[in-house]
Amino acid sequence: MIITIDGPAGAGKSTAARLLAKLIDFQFLDTGAMYRTVALAALNSGFTSPNESALEKILQNLNITLEDNKVFLNGADVTIQIRSQETTEFAGVIATSKAVRTKLVELQRNVAFKKNMVCEGRDQGTTVFPDAYCKFFLTAKPETRANRRFIELQEKGVSANPKEILDAIIARDLRDETREISPLVPAKDAMIIDTSDLEMHKVIDIMHQEIKRRGQI
Ligand code: DC
């Protein structure tokens, strides 16, 4: 059984997906980590702009595995590396590639095959698992999402400029929403939750109630 959680950066998807999966004893799939890993592999190979044929070559020799909240690229642990600013930016760029999306959609379906899984990303309910048992779309005002990111960076001791964070979020939204393949839109049958003024436990509660209402868990 598959439950999907999609939405823009900073809407609280990852935390919600992890907590929900734990609560209902499902596994958790962070598909953004897969795009980040392809971006890292491309950067490691010296690419800084998307080039479809170069990406196709990189994809041929790419082995991505996710285990116990860790991400491995061809056997090497890249969990920390894929969160760097450079990789984050480039992930949004390579996520527009047809070759990359085709490969990762196939990988995501294989990973989730016959499993109980909460799958989190941008296209899980629309493209990857259109028949998912229950679909959620988490969103929040850009200012709220930027503020969350700012606090997160401050807590890590990283200096940041709130205006630059907001601009980057708006730019990423635009790229995610307007790309040709699998743009970021809610699935028609997704429950949309605006998390701007909600604490995380409330978000989890809303999702849990909706899942229980459907009667199979
Ligand atoms: O959720 P995230 O920030 O880790 O995602 C990294 C990038 O990958 C982001 O630019 C959006 C893209 N992405 C995507 O296009 N489709 C997904 N299913 C997941 C992430």
Here the CATH number for the domain that contains residue 105 is 3.40.50.300
Quick one: 22 and 125 in the same domain?
yes
Quick one: 145 and 189 in the same domain?
yes
User: How many Å apart are CA 3 and CA 208, to the nearest integer?
Assistant: 11
Indicate whether residue 142 lines ligand 1 (CB < 6 A).
Answer: no
Whole-Å CA distances, 124 to 73, 116, 143, 168? 22, 14, 25, 23
Q: Per the structure, how many domains does the chain have?
A: 2
Quick one: 162 and 68 in the same domain?
no
- Give the end of a domain, one of 100, 115, 130: 115
Can you say whether the dihedral through the CA atoms of 138, 141, 147, 150 is positive or negative?
positive
Indicate whether residue 176 lines ligand 1 (CB < 6 A).
Answer: yes
Q: What is the mean pLDDT of each run of 10 residues along the chain (217 residues)?
A: 95 95 97 97 90 92 91 96 91 93 97 97 97 97 94 86 93 89 94 96 98 89
Quick one: 217 and 126 in the same domain?
yes
Position of tokens 């085709």? 102
- Give the end of a domain, one of 92, 115, 138: 115
pTM for the full predicted model: 0.94
Quick one: 16 and 41 in the same domain?
no
Quick one: 102 and 139 in the same domain?
no
From the alpha carbon of 175, which atom of ligand 1 is closest? Answer: 10
Quick one: 15 and 122 in the same domain?
yes
Q: Give the E-state strand segments of the chain in sequence order.
A: 2-6, 27-30, 64-67, 70-73, 76-77, 117-121, 134-139, 191-194
Quick one: 108 and 159 in the same domain?
no
Quick one: 21 and 62 in the same domain?
no
- Give the end of a domain, one of 77, 93, 115: 115
Given this model, what pLDDT does residue 62 score? 94
Given this model, what pLDDT does residue 74 score? 96
- Closest CA to ligand 1's atom 13: 32
From the alpha carbon of 95, which atom of ligand 1 is closest? Answer: 15
Indicate whether residue 91 lines ligand 1 (CB < 6 A).
Answer: yes
Quick one: 148 and 195 in the same domain?
yes
Quick one: 151 and 60 in the same domain?
no
Given this model, what pLDDT does residue 210 score? 97
Longest CA span, the chain: 50
Given this model, what pLDDT does residue 135 score? 98
Given this model, what pLDDT does residue 158 score? 81
Whole-Å CA distances, 76 to 43, 62, 64, 100? 15, 12, 10, 20
Indicate whether residue 120 lines ligand 1 (CB < 6 A).
Answer: no
Return the structure tokens found at 212. 């229980």
- Closest CA to ligand 1's atom 4: 32
Quick one: 209 and 131 in the same domain?
yes
Parent domain of 49: 31-115
From the alpha carbon of 6, which atom of ligand 1 is closest? Answer: 18
Reference 3, options 202, 193, 191; nearest CA is 191
User: How many Å apart are CA 119 and CA 50, to the nearest integer?
Assistant: 26
